[in-house]
Amino acid sequence: MSGRGVWLRARARLRRFPALLGGCGEQAAAYGRCVAAAAAGPAELRRDACLEEFRALRDCFARAVGPGARSGVGGCAFPRC
């Protein structure tokens, strides 16, 4: 899995991110608030501290992308794939 085709497709997917994110403002804000609060707290921010909120955001995002499309786990790579 390499080559310019993958790179262009990945970039095209990434370009849609802002518009898709726009429809998930509530979930994004909730996640952001959670992280900000955890980071400002007495303990260090640990992994999955805001798992619930992120799941909600990711699910909203996946719904916006549409069924059957790959929305964004793992792998690539802004800006290089």
Give the residue, chosen from 6, 7, 58, 64, that forms a contact with another protein under the rule CB under 8 A: 58
**Residue 79 half-sphere exposure toward CB, CA atoms < 13 A:** 0
Question: Is residue 69 a contact residue for another protein (CB under 8 A)?
Answer: no
Q: Is the peptide bond before 67 cis (omega within 30 degrees of 0)?
A: no
| 37/31 Cα distance (integer angstroms) | 10
3-state secondary structure of 42: coil
Q: Which amino acid is at 44?
A: E
CA atoms within 13 A on the CB side of 64: 19
If binding is defined by CB under 8 A, does position 39 make contact with another protein? yes
Binding flags for another protein, 6-35, as an x/- string (CB under 8 A): --------xx-xx--x-----xxx-xxx-x
* Smallest distance, another protein to C-beta of residue 29, A: 6
What is the binding site for another protein (CB under 8 A)?
Answer: 14-15, 17-18, 21, 27-29, 31-33, 35-36, 38-39, 44-50, 54, 57-58, 61, 71-80
